[in-house]
Amino acid sequence: MSFHLLLFLAFGAVCAGGAINLLAQRHPINSALSLIAVMAALSGEYLLLGAEFVAAVQVIVYAGAIMVLFVFVIMLLNAGEEEETKGSRVAILFGVPGILIGGVLMAWVVLRHSGTIAVGIGALPGPPTDIAQLLFHDFLLPFEVTSVLILIAIMGAVVLASKPELPAGKVD
Amino acid sequence: MVPLSYYLLLSGFLFACGVIGFLIKRNIITIFMSIELMLNGVNLSFVAFAAQWHALSGQVFVFFVMVVAAAEAAVGLAIIISVYRTRETLNVDQVNLLKL
Amino acid sequence: MSVGVFILVSVIKSLIVLIVLLTAVAYTVWLERKVVGHMQNRWGPTRVGPFGLLQPAADGLKFLFKEDLTPPHVYKPLFLAAPMMALIFALTSIAVIPFGNSIPIFGYSIPLEITDVNIGLLVILGVTSMGVYGVALAGWSSNNKYSLLGGLRASAQMISYEIALGLSLVGVLIQSGSFSLRNIVEAQAGRFLWIIPRWNIFHGQFIGFFIYLMAAYAETNRIPFDLPEAETELVAGYHTEYSSMKFAMFFMAEYANMITVACLATILFFGGWNGPLAGPPIVRALLPLVWFVAKVFCFLFLYIWVRGTLPRFRYDQLMSFGWKFLLPLAIANLVITAIVVAW
């Protein structure tokens, strides 16, 4: 077993464990923390794939900004434990075996018919300059469109989260 | 050396966990986090394919996904806050009226 | 260099850096008490050792022997994890900071940093952006309204100022064309206009430095932006419920963050270890380190000076300063730098 595979398995185990923990936890803040663990481990996987810039941005943007927003909202709304809901019996009878069969089938197909060569460490060095070249030359239009998207999102968030104005004469 | 299919399996597993979370969770914030989990799974397969085919555009797509995720998080959390303000619950089962 | 030697060297370097960093943290606290004391016509610590120099050791012992209270109403797992997270992220970011050129030891050329990453700056940004979790979770898990307010303020403040901080660094990145901190320092060697050192602060990035300084004060929760622990309104903010070693961890994390920020400012804007070299070879080898430490010290002094001088902002002032002043200024600085470099 190579060192590379060992690292892949370690990070993959953290990813999978975090994802399952996200489902298992009842309190949203625990789910948020396990999602942060998933994201941090994923950035490790990106490093293994040679995508160092993506790995850094994954930590900065996902774990450091988006998830902070989630934690912020959970703290702000003081979200408590999730209420138990009765699961439907049909879902348990057919859903769980269905998921298992589907998962095993998928895994079998992917592992059997992949026909791909192995990916080595640093197989594709992704230096920031090359990525910048792609981003600002080949993908310039999508890049600009996403900036408009961000702008719209900011305005939307401000409008949605601002307190609704009370009609004249009413006192809150 | 790790075969590409291992990465794809991990990515598929994360995506599936996201789907399951989306379906079984009742807290709207956790549902939202499941969506982020799905996006992360997709990102992993993007990067894995980029390494496989020696094409950096796969990594560039990850940035676009991240931008969309950030925009979505901002708008979605704002919606959650305004829903909570009017209905005082985060349980999606109780948010079932179009008008209060 | 074989793998064994590499691991040995790395472990030794990590240990040395950790010990030096923790000592520096302890003596920054001493320096702060002493300098603020003199600014306010007091003496500061004088009793323990000459000039109170043993005060940090006494404080450390006191922290160790205090009773470690865990209030009954807290959410325990996170309450215990939060200070550790704060301290771990604060100490991790020092790993990619270079302190000087390579020095030859036993025939090996040892670079003066724990590890050289070609995306060093991004690593530091990533680690510091994770640091907010320690503060935010401490506030939330304490189950106390003052702590919660402190945690909320901390997370909002850090997200807001991280944008300005990141944008202020882009100007430097454009000028040096690299994410590697070593390359950024090397790009600042030499002089222009005969005598002025080619440091980024003199070479077009003065506004960038100003934005970085403001944002860094907010990121490290220091006066004038220490709203998360504003004692006049929030008791002690996010660490109200903490005592003993757990409180000491937050304390150490804050000062370690200060030192990291000072190191980063030195590297990015003040030419790192560049400075006049003279004398025999051994002095020439060590002088860069001296310059680096001297510059970092000046920054720490500036921190303390500001603390002794300025009052605390109000929370809405803090937010509007960040979003309505620093962010547009940072974008303008970025655009102007890009135009000048392209031209």
Task: Report DSSP letters for C111-177, one per residue.
Answer: EESS---TTHHHHHHHHHHHTHHHHHHHHHHTT-HHHHHHHHHHHHHHHHHHHHHHHHHHHHHHHH-
For C85-120, what is each residue's pLDDT tens digit? 888 988 888 888 888 777 777 767 777 777 777 788
* Nearest residue in A to C152, CA atom: A72
pLDDT at A38: 92
- Identify the domain boundary among A46, A81, A116: A81
Instruction: Say if residue C224 is preceded by a cis peptide, omega within 30 of 0.
Output: yes
Return the bridge partners of C104, or none.
Answer: C109
| pTM of the predicted model over 0.90 | no
**Residues A77 and A150 occupy one common structural domain:** no
CA atoms of C129 and C134, how far apart (whole Å):
11
Mean pLDDT of chain C: 83
**What band does A125 get if pLDDT is binned at 50, 70 and 90?**
low
**What band does B40 get if pLDDT is binned at 50, 70 and 90?**
very high
Any A CB within 8 A of C158 CB:
yes
Min Cα–Cα distance to chain B from A64, Å: 11
A120 against A153, higher pLDDT? A153
Whether A39 maps to a domain, the answer reads: yes
* Contact (CB<8Å) B66/A50: no
Any A CB within 8 A of B34 CB:
yes
Backbone angles phi, psi at C225, to 5 degrees: -115, 35
| Total number of domains constituting chain C | 1
Could you report the predicted ipTM of this complex, rounded to two decimals? 0.87
Pairing of strands C196-197, C191-192: antiparallel
Whether A19 maps to a domain, the answer reads: yes
Could you list the residue range(s) of the whole structural domain that residue C260 is in? 3-342
Backbone angles phi, psi at C191, to 5 degrees: -135, 165
Contact exists between C and B (3 or more beta carbon pairs < 8 Å):
no
CATH assignment at residue A73: 1.20.120.1200
Kindly list the distances between the CA atom of residue C201 and the CA atoms of C48, C149, C168, C215, in Å, as whole numbers in the listed order: 40, 37, 12, 16
Whether A51 maps to a domain, the answer reads: yes
Any C CB within 8 A of A68 CB:
yes
**Residues A65 and A9 occupy one common structural domain:** yes
**Residues A76 and A131 occupy one common structural domain:** no
For A57-77, what is each residue's pLDDT tens digit? 888 888 888 888 888 888 888
Kindly list the distances between the CA atom of residue A54 and the CA atoms of A62, B48, C127, C228, in Å, as whole numbers in the listed order: 11, 12, 15, 32
Whether A41 maps to a domain, the answer reads: yes
CA atoms of C60 and C68, how far apart (whole Å):
14
A155 against A131, higher pLDDT? A155
Whether A147 maps to a domain, the answer reads: yes
Residue C323 falls in which region: left (phi positive, over 0), alpha (psi -120 to 50) or beta: alpha
For C171-184, what is each residue's pLDDT tens digit? 888 888 888 888 88
Any A CB within 8 A of B87 CB:
no
Min Cα–Cα distance to chain A from C54, Å: 38
Least confident of A87-91, B79-83, C201-205: A87-91
| Total number of domains constituting chain A | 2
- Residue B93 contacts residue B26 (beta carbons within 8 Å): yes
Positive or negative torsion for Cα C124, C199, C213, C246 = positive
A85 against C218, higher pLDDT? C218
Could you list the residue range(s) of the whole structural domain that residue A146 is in? 127-162
CA atoms of B5 and B9, how far apart (whole Å):
6
Whether A86 maps to a domain, the answer reads: no
- Identify the domain boundary among A21, A50, A81: A81
Backbone angles phi, psi at C179, to 5 degrees: -90, -10
- Identify the domain boundary among A57, A81, A105: A81
Mind listing the domains of chain B with CATH numbers?
4-94 (1.10.287.3510)
Quote helix, strand, coil % in chain A, to nearest 5.
Answer: 75, 0, 25
E-strand stretches of A71-144:
118-119
Query: Over 70: is that where the pLDDT of C284 sits?
Result: yes
Backbone angles phi, psi at B79, to 5 degrees: -60, -45
Query: For an interface test with C, which of A39, A54, A72 has the most C Cβ atoms less than 10 Å from its Cβ?
Result: A72
Any A CB within 8 A of B65 CB:
no
Any A CB within 8 A of B19 CB:
no
* Chains linked to C by 3 or more Cβ pairs within 8 Å: A
Least confident of B60-69, C159-168, C226-235, C282-291: C226-235
- Residue C303 contacts residue C259 (beta carbons within 8 Å): no
Query: For an interface test with A, which of C119, C152, C323, C335 has the most A Cβ atoms less than 10 Å from its Cβ?
Result: C119
Q: C339: which 2 tokens? A: 């135009």
